[in-house]
Structure 1
Amino acid sequence: MSHAAKEFKPAHVAVLTVSDTRNLETDTSGQYYVDNLIEAGHKVVDRAIVIDDIYKIRAIVSKWIADENVQVIISTGGTGFTARDYTPEALMPLFDKEIEGFGELFRAISYQEIGTSTVQSRALGGFANKTVILATPGSTNACRTAWTKIIKEQLDSRHRPCNFMPHVKVIAEEA
């Protein structure tokens, strides 16, 4: 978990909350990501809240995948087993490559915190058009786990031995 002397490069991130009940005032999970991304030095370039509908989720994420200013998409919510949880079904067809290890690692870490209940998490990650897409559960505690134990390091261009940043699209101002 060491950092080489390489320069930090902020990621350009869009944050999506998938919820039938949240709004900007009550979205503690999306706000958690926004606050921590900014604190870490990243740029939050967009934020949205969408109801848990496969096609509405895909529409927003597809727009961000095509946006040359979005390198990373982090979503919160819609990853469980209820009748209204469709985030994995919405995102998986968009992936060029799946990041299998993201969901696996999230559940392994989460097991230490919530035990076998972690089997109900369908957290997942993938790449599409050189954009990292990470889907996490909707609870703020789950977002904290994902951020502090996985995402924060993987978005840090100095993190060794590897991180997501060499694999994302280059922002025009950085080219």
Structure 2
Amino acid sequence: MSQPESIERKPSGRIGHLLRRVEYGLLSALLLAVVGIGLVQIGMRNLADTSLPWADPAMRAAVLWIAMLAGVLAAGSAQHIRIDALLSHLPAAIRPWIDRVVLLATALICVALAVASIDIVRLEFEIGDLAFATVPRWAVLAIIPVGFGLMAFRFVYRALLPAVPQTAPGAEESR
């Protein structure tokens, strides 16, 4: 009899599926925009020895948004980076409870980061600098508290879901 290797807690259902599709669509659109703007920049620099002055800062802003949205998506689908070397050495009976504690601790850290980043966004709002074109810097940075807040929500939600034991790859083959 094989023992579970890991604990999986993923939201399912129609709403979860719709949410993942929206998230993947938004990430894909941002990534295509970055690639498209980058190609236009390369073409303009090579062919006309000019460029769009707002393009490089806009691409940097888009990369920040891509990173935060990808983090939210990874947190919701249990594909985030996690260090669980200790978890595999614990008795199978307590693994789901330890996993819940870790998820809740991770959510607490995300809340702390969201709260801290709200101060940064507020400060940027008061300063009023532009990130690129007519886009204020605070609008670019607003994804940070929103992203960490959504990650915290996702971790708490997953901590409350029932655990689904996952068997080791190839465990069915050995039967």
**TM-score with structure 1 setting the length:** 0.25
Q: Which structure has greater strand proportion?
A: 1
Q: Which structure has greater helix proportion?
A: 2
**Larger Cα Rg: Structure 1 or Structure 2?**
2
Q: Which has the higher contact order (CA 8 A, sep 6+)?
A: 2
